[in-house]
Amino acid sequence: MLNDNFSLPVRVYYQDTDAGGVVYHSTYLNFMERARYEWLRALGFNVHSMVEVHNMLFMVRSLEVEYLKPAILDNLLHVSVAVTEVGRSRIALFQEIICNHVKLVSATIQVVCVGADTLKPMRIPAPLREKIGKVA
Protein backbone atom coordinates (compact mmCIF):
# COMPACT_ATOMS: atom_id res chain seq x y z
CA MET A 1 0.00 0.00 0.00
CA LEU A 2 1.20 3.50 -0.78
CA ASN A 3 -0.45 5.28 2.08
CA ASP A 4 -2.09 4.61 5.42
CA ASN A 5 -5.64 3.35 5.33
CA PHE A 6 -8.41 5.90 5.65
CA SER A 7 -11.41 4.58 7.56
CA LEU A 8 -14.96 5.90 7.73
CA PRO A 9 -17.47 4.68 10.34
CA VAL A 10 -20.87 3.87 8.82
CA ARG A 11 -23.96 2.81 10.77
CA VAL A 12 -26.34 0.37 9.05
CA TYR A 13 -29.82 1.87 8.89
CA TYR A 14 -33.13 0.21 8.11
CA GLN A 15 -33.08 1.66 4.57
CA ASP A 16 -29.84 -0.27 3.91
CA THR A 17 -31.41 -3.66 4.60
CA ASP A 18 -33.96 -6.14 3.37
CA ALA A 19 -36.99 -7.25 5.44
CA GLY A 20 -34.73 -9.60 7.42
CA GLY A 21 -32.38 -6.80 8.46
CA VAL A 22 -29.51 -7.93 6.19
CA VAL A 23 -27.63 -5.30 4.13
CA TYR A 24 -28.34 -5.41 0.38
CA HIS A 25 -25.30 -6.41 -1.69
CA SER A 26 -25.37 -3.17 -3.70
CA THR A 27 -25.49 -1.03 -0.55
CA TYR A 28 -21.90 -1.99 0.24
CA LEU A 29 -20.90 -0.21 -2.98
CA ASN A 30 -22.64 2.92 -1.70
CA PHE A 31 -20.72 2.65 1.59
CA MET A 32 -17.43 2.32 -0.34
CA GLU A 33 -18.28 5.28 -2.57
CA ARG A 34 -19.00 7.38 0.53
CA ALA A 35 -15.64 6.37 2.04
CA ARG A 36 -13.79 7.32 -1.17
CA TYR A 37 -15.54 10.69 -1.18
CA GLU A 38 -14.56 11.34 2.45
CA TRP A 39 -11.01 10.10 1.78
CA LEU A 40 -10.64 12.71 -0.97
CA ARG A 41 -12.14 15.34 1.32
CA ALA A 42 -9.59 14.42 4.04
CA LEU A 43 -6.85 14.99 1.45
CA GLY A 44 -8.28 18.45 0.78
CA PHE A 45 -10.10 17.61 -2.46
CA ASN A 46 -13.88 17.78 -2.39
CA VAL A 47 -16.00 17.29 -5.49
CA HIS A 48 -16.62 21.01 -5.93
CA SER A 49 -12.92 21.91 -5.86
CA MET A 50 -12.03 19.04 -8.20
CA VAL A 51 -14.51 20.35 -10.77
CA GLU A 52 -14.13 24.10 -10.22
CA VAL A 53 -10.35 24.28 -9.67
CA HIS A 54 -9.01 21.27 -11.57
CA ASN A 55 -11.85 20.64 -14.08
CA MET A 56 -11.75 16.94 -13.24
CA LEU A 57 -13.53 14.18 -11.44
CA PHE A 58 -13.07 10.47 -10.82
CA MET A 59 -15.14 7.70 -12.37
CA VAL A 60 -15.08 4.02 -11.47
CA ARG A 61 -13.48 2.07 -14.32
CA SER A 62 -13.70 -1.38 -12.76
CA LEU A 63 -14.30 -3.12 -9.48
CA GLU A 64 -14.05 -6.60 -8.08
CA VAL A 65 -15.99 -7.31 -4.89
CA GLU A 66 -15.83 -10.26 -2.54
CA TYR A 67 -18.69 -10.68 -0.07
CA LEU A 68 -17.56 -12.71 2.94
CA LYS A 69 -20.14 -12.16 5.69
CA PRO A 70 -23.31 -10.08 5.94
CA ALA A 71 -23.79 -6.86 7.86
CA ILE A 72 -27.06 -6.43 9.68
CA LEU A 73 -29.29 -3.63 10.92
CA ASP A 74 -27.59 -1.28 13.42
CA ASN A 75 -24.05 -2.67 12.88
CA LEU A 76 -21.30 -0.07 13.07
CA LEU A 77 -19.07 -0.68 10.07
CA HIS A 78 -15.63 0.68 9.27
CA VAL A 79 -15.08 1.25 5.56
CA SER A 80 -11.41 1.64 4.62
CA VAL A 81 -9.67 3.07 1.57
CA ALA A 82 -6.04 2.33 0.69
CA VAL A 83 -4.15 3.30 -2.45
CA THR A 84 -2.32 0.38 -4.05
CA GLU A 85 -1.13 1.96 -7.29
CA VAL A 86 -1.09 5.32 -9.03
CA GLY A 87 -0.86 5.71 -12.79
CA ARG A 88 -0.91 8.77 -15.00
CA SER A 89 -4.72 9.03 -14.93
CA ARG A 90 -5.68 6.00 -12.84
CA ILE A 91 -5.70 5.09 -9.15
CA ALA A 92 -6.03 1.52 -7.89
CA LEU A 93 -7.66 1.23 -4.48
CA PHE A 94 -8.29 -1.55 -2.02
CA GLN A 95 -11.33 -1.20 0.23
CA GLU A 96 -12.61 -3.29 3.11
CA ILE A 97 -15.73 -3.18 5.23
CA ILE A 98 -15.15 -4.46 8.74
CA CYS A 99 -17.48 -4.96 11.71
CA ASN A 100 -16.15 -5.87 15.15
CA HIS A 101 -12.74 -6.76 13.69
CA VAL A 102 -14.34 -9.17 11.18
CA LYS A 103 -13.90 -8.54 7.45
CA LEU A 104 -17.29 -8.54 5.73
CA VAL A 105 -16.47 -7.24 2.25
CA SER A 106 -13.32 -6.47 0.28
CA ALA A 107 -12.97 -4.79 -3.09
CA THR A 108 -10.33 -3.79 -5.60
CA ILE A 109 -11.39 -0.66 -7.44
CA GLN A 110 -9.85 1.21 -10.36
CA VAL A 111 -10.84 4.85 -10.73
CA VAL A 112 -9.85 7.06 -13.63
CA CYS A 113 -9.39 10.83 -13.62
CA VAL A 114 -11.49 12.43 -16.37
CA GLY A 115 -12.11 15.96 -17.57
CA ALA A 116 -15.32 17.30 -16.03
CA ASP A 117 -16.42 18.71 -19.38
CA THR A 118 -15.14 15.98 -21.73
CA LEU A 119 -15.34 12.83 -19.55
CA LYS A 120 -12.09 11.77 -21.28
CA PRO A 121 -9.09 10.52 -19.30
CA MET A 122 -6.68 13.17 -18.11
CA ARG A 123 -3.57 13.32 -15.96
CA ILE A 124 -4.19 13.37 -12.20
CA PRO A 125 -3.52 16.96 -11.03
CA ALA A 126 -0.08 17.38 -9.41
CA PRO A 127 -1.44 18.60 -6.03
CA LEU A 128 -3.55 15.46 -5.66
CA ARG A 129 -0.76 13.21 -6.92
CA GLU A 130 1.54 14.70 -4.26
CA LYS A 131 -1.01 13.93 -1.55
CA ILE A 132 -1.50 10.29 -2.50
CA GLY A 133 2.13 9.53 -3.35
CA LYS A 134 3.82 8.12 -6.40
CA VAL A 135 4.65 4.57 -7.35
CA ALA A 136 8.40 3.99 -7.24
Ordered by start, the domain boundaries in the chain are: 6-132
Residue 1 pLDDT exceeds 70: no
Residue 135 pLDDT exceeds 50: no
Domain range 6-132, its CATH number among 3.40.50.300, 3.30.70.20, 3.40.50.1820, 3.10.129.10: 3.10.129.10
Whether 18 is a known active-site residue: answer yes
Q: Give the number of other Cβ atoms within 10 Å of residue 88's Cβ.
A: 11
Report d(CA 43, CA 33) in Å as an integer: 16
Residue 96 pLDDT exceeds 60: yes
Q: How far is CA 40 from CA 15, 37, 122, 133, in A?
A: 26, 5, 18, 13
Catalytic residue among 4, 18, 74, 117: 18
27-78 per-position pLDDT tens digit: 999 999 999 999 999 998 988 889 998 999 999 999 999 999 999 999 999 9
> Considering all CA atoms of the chain, what is the largest pairwise distance in Å, rounded to the nearest integer?
48
Strands 56-67 and 90-99: unpaired
